[in-house]
Chains A and B, each alone.
Chain A
Amino acid sequence: MDNTTQPTTRGMTGLIEDWVSDKDAFKNVSWGKTMMWIFLLSDTFIFSCFLVGYMSVRMTTDVPWPNASEVFALTIAGEHIPLILIAIMTFVLITSSGTMAMAVNCGYRRQRKQAAVLMLVTAVFGVCFVGMQAFEWTKLIEEGVRPWGNPMGAPQFGAAFFMITGFHGFHVSIGVIYLTVVALKVLRGDYEERGYEIVEITGLYWHFVDLVWVFIFAFFYLW
């Protein structure tokens, strides 16, 4: 994207001028970043469809829905704590978002070693998250939860659970691979000439995964 003239007007006038300028409407945004945002927008719709579908089946059923607070409780050192595993997973994901934000910052400061290390730390947190999710799935499968039924209540619980958390876990796994690849390229110095916007673009994807979890946590685990 060639932005030889920098836009100066801001606010509503800026909005109108950007759209009527008869060329690229998104000033100061590279194609890489624009396309990542558009991809995330489409992903937003996919996750929304899953969550709305979950809402529909949960509202239509006249069988009581399993109590998430109890289903996801763990007994740690003799203490029965509701929803604790999900809380830990939430904190792990937020921590990884923080390290990712730091990596983006280091990238723009052209500290490529720190940026790469922080990205790898983020990936490790991602692996932790997926590991805990695998543990959670194993626990539920052992308790007899299946996509078509479960011993705790409404049979749709399993379908919604495996579909939504599975698709999210898949996103985290892809994110771990993506982060690792970009981190290694950053470490090798591949972006010394082009600049480190790639770290921000990778970060957008990672933060989005965290963002989706915020909604899953609220609607699936807290409802």
Chain B
Amino acid sequence: MQNNTDTQPQQHPISLYFKVWGLLFVLSSFSYLVDYMQYQGLLRWTLILVFMFLKAGLIVAVFMHMVWERIAFTLAILSPPLCILVLIALMASEASYTNLNRLIFFG
């Protein structure tokens, strides 16, 4: 286990946390406004995904201290979830095929 005397405890200026905190509030308001303004179609999806990834990135990077970890650790934790993209692609193509069949036979 690490000994507190030979490692530098992670001291980051508290102002950084306040900035990120504020930014998360602003981004959440924007997400909510996307629904409130009733944006539809491609614009809605782009905005939702952009705000979502910005928020997720800020939480992981600053609040969960990922930017201050070494790359070996960051990659070991953050690259495995990329597999999920494959699952999403597989399930999406399967689901649209099922949907098509339902429309043809039950629609």
Contacts and interface: CB of A to CB of B under 8 A. Distances in A.
Contacts of A97: 21, 24, 59, 63
A188 interface: no
Interface residues of B, number: 60
B98 A94 contact: no
B35 A211 contact: no
Nearest to B2: A30
Contact of B32 (A37, A49, A87): A87
A contact face: mostly helix, strand, loop, or mixed: helix
A52 B84 contact: yes
B95 A200 contact: no
A207 B64 contact: yes
Interface string B11-30: 11010011011001100100
B42 interface: no
A32 B75 CA distance: 18
B21 A60 contact: no
Nearest to A58: B95
Given A48-B87, A62-B106, A94-B21, A14 B4 contact: no
Interface residues of A, number: 69
Interface string B66-99: 0001111101110011001001100110111011
Interface stretch (A101-109, A125-133, A174-182): A101-109
A32 to B, nearest CB: 8
24 contacts: A3-B7, A6-B6, A12-B71, A18-B70, A26-B70, A29-B70, A30-B2, A32-B1, A37-B73, A37-B77, A52-B91, A56-B92, A56-B94, A56-B95, A60-B99, A60-B102, A83-B36, A87-B28, A94-B28, A98-B24, A109-B11, A194-B1, A211-B59, A214-B55
